Each structure stands twice: as C-alpha cells, then as structure tokens.
C-alpha cells in the first residue's frame, strides 16, 4: 500500500504542473469516457444490484446506475470542468514594512483520501473535483458497490492517459483502511462520507486530518411572528421532501404563543406523509403524538419521523439548539427583523437560515457545483465542500536581498 501511495503522490506532482485548461480537458475526457463506456458500467452495476437483493429498496435505488443516471453523471462532471479554477487565486497581497511583497495564494492540498458508502457516482464526482483542484485522490467505496466503483475507476484512469496515476482506487479491507488513514506522509486529508459508523471509524483511527461529514440534526424554529403558511411549507419541505439526507430537519421548535394555532395545522400536513411525531409534554396536550424524551432530541431520524417541542421563546429555542444541534443547518421562521438577525448571528452552525428550508444546504444549491460533502467541522472548511475547500494556501514572498 505504501508503494501505491508513494506513486500516487508522485503522479499528483505531475498533475500540479498542468495549467487550468489542461486540467479541465482531463475532466472532460472523464465525462466522455463514462458515456462511451456506459454498457460496461451498467454491466458491472448489475452484478452489484444482484448481490444487493437483501438491501432495502432505498439502498438498492441509491446503488443503481442506469442510462439516464450515467448521462446525468457525465453532465455533472462537465459542469465541474467548467467551474472557475480554484488554484492560484490571490486571496490577499500586501507590502510588508521590510519592503517584501507578500501574496497569499491558493494551492492544492496534495493527496485526498475519500472513504465512502453506497452511491457509485461519488467515485467519478470526487475524481473530477480532485483533478479540478489539482489534487491526487485515493478512493475507497463501499463493498456493496465494488463492481461499479472498479469499473468507473478503471474507465477514469484510462481516460486520463499519462495522468491516470493521480486517481487510485483501493479495494481493501477495513483493517487496511485503518492503515491507510494513518499514512500522513502521503495523504493530506481524509474525507469520510457515509453513515455515522463510518465517520466515527475514520475520525477515531486517522492520523491524517479528517474533514468530517457528521450527522445533520437540523432544527426549524417557528417564532411567534412567523407567517404561518410559510412556516408550514418550510417545515414540510425540510422534513418530507427527502427525509434520508443530512440537511433534512429532525426537530421543530414552536413558540408557545402560537402553538395552539400552529400545531394542529402542522400535524395535518405531516399526517399526509405519515410522519411519526415525538412531542414534548406540552405538545401532547394540543395534538396526538408519541412522547419525546431527552435522548430523542439528539436523533438523526433520516426518515418520516421528527421531534416537536414547544419553547417559551427565543432564548429557550437558542439554548435547545446549542445543546442538541450537530452544527449542520438551522432555520428560523419569523417576520420580526431583529429576531431573525439575532438568530443568524447567535446560532453556531455551518448554515443558518432565516425564512428558508434547511434543505438548501447543498453544494449545488449554493452554486459550488458538485460537492465532496457537507462539513460539520469548524476547522478548515464548514458547510458544503466544493473545489475551493479542497485547496489550502501558501505565502509567496518577493524580495530584493532583504535580511532581518
């Protein structure tokens, strides 16, 4: 493995000498190769699907690659090629007292390891994002998608010609992954993307820096001055439009003052999706629902299930979010200007919304193009991780013989 990583690092150096047009061309090659090899990919995917008969229909669907999905994958990759180049951007520049001219410019991180589960698209998307940001990439997907992933990885490597060495797929065991994520001599970053178990496994075993994509326990706070119709739309959208994703809401907090009016309306909308409600004691006096306990509020249900809590006002909402949020995305619904601004300022999460659904926390919706994931770390990158977040910076200093 060390030998492979050494080669990967060397191939990455070669990639980094290319200019932005050359890197964009490599990415366009990937997109074309994926379309041209559609039959091969579908064949490999069918084997994975056959082996996945015991998985839930939702997971089987995530695994599936058909003609339409492969076409859309290729289009997505072309979009990545067209993104503004993230390398060589001058973040800042100034003359120091010594007369030195200092520039802070964006540079690639180096080699990124991506440990992921399920959707085989990730293999191609991450390869393209890595090349766009002039990074090398070690990929390790879930075993349920191994045939699809290997087919994609081989097609990608072939399409890159002499630069194929900068993408490496590691078909390795969990124990070997444990070794991989300790190789800080060759790897600059590891991104775990998948269930809570995977994320914990990677963060507790890595000595390479980890960009965590942790769970999303997202809150919607319906303030007493909320526009009731907007609040209803947003709550339903945030919970029910796609409950299995990290930016879906898991808890709704409602101001006491409007609970009598709002809760029955909310319940009748949630009932249309058969949402299981875990309510606080006060909620249970207004609508029929299950009981929430202290631990419910930490849950990421990822399903048609949510927590409901009546709060006395802004302060209680804020301290509830402080305690139970995973720092992903939270929203307030209110027409009160200063309350909204206070919420936006005081809530310490990656994405904080006023009067919009938490479902917008997404690289595509933010305009970043495809994303590597949503970071719940505070270090390095927070929120959607696109190509800009896969860079670091260095200082370039031009002098004329200065000594100190």
Q: Is 217 helix (H, G, I), strand (E, B) or coil?
A: coil
**Looking at beta carbons only, is 86 or 141 nearer to a second copy?**
86
Stretch 231-290 residues interacting with a second copy (CB under 8 A):
233-234, 236-238, 241
Per rule CB under 8 A, is residue 36 in the interface with a second copy?
no
CB 1 within 8 A of CB 172: yes
| Interacting residue with a second copy among 20, 51, 154, 203 (CB under 8 A) | 203
| Interacting residue with a second copy among 34, 351, 370, 372 (CB under 8 A) | 351
**Looking at beta carbons only, is 23 or 157 nearer to a second copy?**
23
| Interacting residue with a second copy among 76, 164, 195, 209 (CB under 8 A) | 209
Per rule CB under 8 A, is residue 136 in the interface with a second copy?
no
| Interacting residue with a second copy among 97, 288, 294, 295 (CB under 8 A) | 97
Per rule CB under 8 A, is residue 349 in the interface with a second copy?
yes
Per rule CB under 8 A, is residue 338 in the interface with a second copy?
no
Per rule CB under 8 A, is residue 76 in the interface with a second copy?
no
Phi and psi, residue 156, nearest 5°:
-65, -50
Strand partners, 374: 384
Per rule CB under 8 A, is residue 296 in the interface with a second copy?
no
Q: List C-alpha distances in Å: 98 to 93, 296, 333, 394.
A: 14, 59, 52, 19
Residue 383 CB, nearest distance to a second copy (Å)?
Answer: 5
CB 290 within 8 A of CB 280: no
**Looking at beta carbons only, is 125 or 188 nearer to a second copy?**
188
Phi and psi, residue 34, nearest 5°:
-65, -40
* Most distant pair of Cα atoms in the chain: their distance: 78
Residue 60 CB, nearest distance to a second copy (Å)?
Answer: 25
Per rule CB under 8 A, is residue 394 in the interface with a second copy?
yes
Residue 220 CB, nearest distance to a second copy (Å)?
Answer: 11
Residue 386 CB, nearest distance to a second copy (Å)?
Answer: 12
Encoded tokens for 274: 């058969």
If you ran DSSP here, which 8-state letter would residue 95 be given?
A: E
Per rule CB under 8 A, is residue 315 in the interface with a second copy?
no
Contacts of 75 (CB under 8 A, 6+ apart): 31
| Interacting residue with a second copy among 382, 385, 386, 387 (CB under 8 A) | 382
Residue 123 CB, nearest distance to a second copy (Å)?
Answer: 24
For residues 389 and 384, what is the distance between their CA atoms, to the nearest angstrom?
9
Evaluate the CA torsion angle 57, 63, 64, 67 in order and state its sign.
positive
Per rule CB under 8 A, is residue 89 in the interface with a second copy?
no
If you ran DSSP here, which 8-state letter would residue 84 be given?
A: P
Alpha helices in 37-111 (DSSP H): 38-51, 57-63, 67-82
Alpha helices in 185-311 (DSSP H): 196-205, 228-240, 256-271, 281-286
Per rule CB under 8 A, is residue 379 in the interface with a second copy?
yes
CB 289 within 8 A of CB 266: no
With contacts defined by CB under 8 A, name the span among 59-67, 123-131, 136-144, 339-347 that binds a second copy: 339-347
Polymer length of the chain: 404
**Looking at beta carbons only, is 1 or 344 nearer to a second copy?**
344
If you ran DSSP here, which 8-state letter would residue 292 be given?
A: P
Residue 39 CB, nearest distance to a second copy (Å)?
Answer: 34
Encoded tokens for 189: 């970053």
| Interacting residue with a second copy among 26, 74, 80, 109 (CB under 8 A) | 109
Which H or E run contains 113? strand 111-116
Per rule CB under 8 A, is residue 18 in the interface with a second copy?
no
Give the count of residues interacting with a second copy (CB under 8 A): 65
Region of residue 99 (phi > 0: left; psi between -120 and 50: alpha; otherwise: beta): left
Per rule CB under 8 A, is residue 353 in the interface with a second copy?
yes
Per rule CB under 8 A, is residue 205 in the interface with a second copy?
no
**Residues found near a second copy in the complex (CB under 8 A):** 13, 17, 94, 96-98, 100, 102, 107, 109-110, 188-189, 203-204, 207, 209, 211, 227, 230, 233-234, 236-238, 241, 322, 340, 344, 346, 348-357, 359-361, 365-367, 377-380, 382-383, 392-404
């Amino acid at each position: 493995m060390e030998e492979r990583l050494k080669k990967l690092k060397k191939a990455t150096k070669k990639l980094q000498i290319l200019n932005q047009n050359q890197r964009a061309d490599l990415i366009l090659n990937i997109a074309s190769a994926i379309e041209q090899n559609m039959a091969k990919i579908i064949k490999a995917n069918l084997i994975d699907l056959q082996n996945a008969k015991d998985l839930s229909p939702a997971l089987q669907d995530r695994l599936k690659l058909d003609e339409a999905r492969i076409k859309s994958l290729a289009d997505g990759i072309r979009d990545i090629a067209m993104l503004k180049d993230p390398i060589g951007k001058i973040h800042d520049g100034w003359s120091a007292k010594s007369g030195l001219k200092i520039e802070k410019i964006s540079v690639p991180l180096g080699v990124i390891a991506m440990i992921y589960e399920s959707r085989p698209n990730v293999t191609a998307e991450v390869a393209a994002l890595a090349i766009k940001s002039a990074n090398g990439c070690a990929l390790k997907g879930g075993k349920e998608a191994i045939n699809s992933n290997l087919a994609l990885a081989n097609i990608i490597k072939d399409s890159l010609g002499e630069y194929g060495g900068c993408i490496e797929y590691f078909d390795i065991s969990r124990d070997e992954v444990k070794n991989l994520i300790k190789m800080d001599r060759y790897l600059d970053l590891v991104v775990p993307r998948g269930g809570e178990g995977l994320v914990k496994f990677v963060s507790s075993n890595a000595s390479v820096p980890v960009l965590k994509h942790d769970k999303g326990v997202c809150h919607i706070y319906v303030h007493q001055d909320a526009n009731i119709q907007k609040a209803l739309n947003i709550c339903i959208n945030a919970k029910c439009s796609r409950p299995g994703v990290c930016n879906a809401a898991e808890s709704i907090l409602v101001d006491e003052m409007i609970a009598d009016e709002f809760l029955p309306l909310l319940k009748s909308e949630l009932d249309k999706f058969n949402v299981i409600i875990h309510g606080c004691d006060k909620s249970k006096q207004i609508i029929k629902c299950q009981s929430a306990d202290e631990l419910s509020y930490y849950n990421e249900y990822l399903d048609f299930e949510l927590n409901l809590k009546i709060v006395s006002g802004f302060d209680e909402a804020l301290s509830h979010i402080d305690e139970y949020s995973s720092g992903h995305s939270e929203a307030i619904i209110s027409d009160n200007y200063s309350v909204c601004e206070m919420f936006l300022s005081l809530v310490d999460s990656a994405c904080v919304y006023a009067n919009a659904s938490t479902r917008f926390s997404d690289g595509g919706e933010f305009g970043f193009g495809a994303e590597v994931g949503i970071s719940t770390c505070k270090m390095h990158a927070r929120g959607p991780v696109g190509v800009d977040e896969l860079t670091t910076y260095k200082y370039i200093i031009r002098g004329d013989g200065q000594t100190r």
